[in-house]
Amino acid sequence: MDTIDTFLEAMFAPYPATPRLLEAKRELHAMMEDAYADAVASGKSHNEAVGSVITDFGNLEELAPVLGILPDIRGAGDASAAEAADAPAAAPTTPDTTPSEYPVITLPEAQALAEARRSTGTLLGNGVALCVLAAVPLFLLPGLSRDDGLGLIPLNEDQAAAVGLVLTLAVVATAVSLLLRRHQAFTGLTHLTDGKFTRNPVVSAWAARLRLEHEGVRSRALSIAVALWIMAPIPTVGAGILFQESADRSGPPLGLVLTLFMVAAGLRIFLPTTWAAMTHTTITEEGRPADAAPTWRNPGDSPFIEAIAGPYWIGCVVIFLAWSFISSDWGITWMLWPIAGVLFGAIAAGEAGLRSWRSR
């Protein structure tokens, strides 16, 4: 019941502790306890019951006529507005520390964030899966060419590699287009996705209930995806063993293509089911704590990483294309990407560790 108590405190915090409002708070607390008991008796879990109570009693303006406190809360609001108008202008604050940059998240905002993630889950899954499959034409077409391949297409190895590059760029462009369409759904919610908000215990309880309601679907999808990811190396390893002493060089690339398809399939199955869990994580972990100091910063903020990310990956693309075209050894140059990913992760981890050490 701590969540309900916290909810009531947050609900009545903007108003003076007058005897009438204190009495209304006690009445409302009793009503909420009764509703919670009824929800539990009907078979709901603790989190589900709390979420249901918060949803039903989440608007004091709507409850005020029933409790007989509508003049009290409206009078308090008018008095607060008058005091704010008469108060001297506050000293200017820097953009990084002003509380206005971290407004308290509201339930409608949280619901909008959840709906944006739910409705664009397919775009996310398709976009990420296509990113994984982007390299497939580079591996597949040379293996189908007439030079040391299966001979299924009338192209030599260099021509097949050139066509593969064009198709790879087309797949990447499609993936980026899908991800950009998904990004448009978050217009007006960037302060939430960037963690520039103050947490709200009421909204956090709602997010916890949302995650519980959809955890079963996410868990089943994760089980299927993990099974695919565990089995994904089998085609690559098997093809390498089977074609180890064969003159046919198409076997290992075809095995790698099948591996990429299995990885992409796992991502496509799993990612669309993560919207509720992602919303819960954002609302409960990424925002500003309600009791944080004015100088609080989001631990995930990293201006340095944000500044170098774009040039870093553009440079990787340039190196990859130059190396591949000069050497024509597409079967080796793809290794640049896992190496670049590990290196970028090491840079990010080192920068985060340095920031943590400086903040001590």
Q: What is the pLDDT of residues 31-64, one digit of tens each?
A: 788 778 877 888 887 777 777 777 777 667 767 7
The pair of three-digit structure tokens given for residue 262, joined into one six-digit string: 């299995």
pLDDT, tens digit, 9 for 90 and up, residues 136-194: 887 777 666 656 555 556 666 677 777 878 888 898 899 989 989 999 999 888 888 88
- pLDDT at residue 93 in the model: 40
Q: What is the DSSP string of 126-176?
A: HHHHHHHHTTHHHHHHHHHSSSSS---SS--HHHHHHHHHHHHHHHHHHHH
pLDDT at residue 336 above 50?
Answer: yes
Give the pLDDT score at 328: 65
**pLDDT over 90 at 272, yes or no:** yes
CB 323 within 8 A of CB 336: yes
DSSP state of 282: I
Task: Give this prediction's pTM.
Answer: 0.60
Instruction: Report pLDDT digits (tens) over 320-332.
Output: 777 776 676 766 7
Residue 359, pLDDT > 60, answer no
Q: Which of 14-18, 88-92, 112-116 has the lowest mean pLDDT?
A: 88-92
Q: Which residue has the higher pLDDT, 14 or 90?
A: 14
**328 conformational bin, left if phi > 0, alpha if psi -120 to 50, beta if neither:** left
Q: What is the pLDDT of residue 148?
A: 56
pLDDT higher than threshold 60 for residue 360: no
